[in-house]
Structure 1
């Protein structure tokens, strides 16, 4: 799988817009620790750019895995000092800290257990075949993993 460049499915951007609208309206999408809207300033324009994310929680700390290497939100997050996480009418200013490949490995290994909805997505994108912990751990250094710290 490592040789195949993952590409977002055609429906991703329209579906993200639907998810964000549902989340802003407070409509349930999944469990209590479900998706959030991540807003970061665009690296070129400075204009706010929003995308839905599904964080994973490990020992009370939130992390997010980029579903596509080189995604725009990932590049914007690297360039930004702070980001905003929103759920319904609640929002929180955070700092996004990108983890090294070594730091990311144990978190990626737990991804299939902690974010099961992300497994099928990453299978369809061509990043993993079976969705095993070993496959996800092997994505370290290829798929960015960010930790959310208080700003």
Structure 2
């Protein structure tokens, strides 16, 4: 289980509240997946990467529960403001992650600090993100059929 600081917990609650009242900001979405043990919905803020019309979700915090839950369930919902959509979550093989990860610092420069702070990348460069492929689970988002 990931232990978030009080500041991070507060920020997550603010993001979730803003979405619930229809006021999303920045690149943030809410990912909700069923808990792998309880089956209860678990929600976390996340910033998707968009490449050629396809969204990808990458983990910024080691041992994040949403990753294990997404692996177990293979699906969830993505919420942006009041728009909710059911999605399948397909984990990308490590060998294919590099080119997608190198887009993250360009698309979400404010989110880069979490990756550096958590030791997932050595620096804020696209090359550092590409080199982090073994340490950064990545999921492709597809509409749920």
Distance 1:14 1:75 in 2: 23
In structure 2, what is the equivalent of residue 46 of structure 1?
Answer: 39
Compute the TM-score of the two structures, normalised by the length of structure 1: 0.87
Q: Given the alignment of the two structures, is residue 141 of structure 1 paired with residue 134 of structure 2, yes or no?
A: yes
Under a length normalisation based on structure 2, what TM-score does the superposition of the two structures give?
0.90
* Alignment equivalent of 1:16, drawn from 9, 12, 21: 12
1:36 deviates by 0.8
**1:75 alignment counterpart:** 68
What stretches of structure 2 of length at least 5 have no aligned partner?
none
Q: Structure 2 CA distance, aligned partners of 1:69 and 1:147? A: 19
**Once the 2 structures are TM-superposed, how far is the Cα of residue 7 of structure 1 from its aligned partner?**
7.0
Q: Over residues 10-45 of structure 1, what are the superposed CA-to-partner deviations in whole Å (9 max), with x where a residue is unaligned?
A: 422222111110121122422xxx211100000000
Q: Root-mean-square deviation (CA), in Å? A: 1.7
More helix by proportion, 1 or 2? 2
| Aligned partner (choices 95, 100, 104) of residue 93 of structure 2 | 100
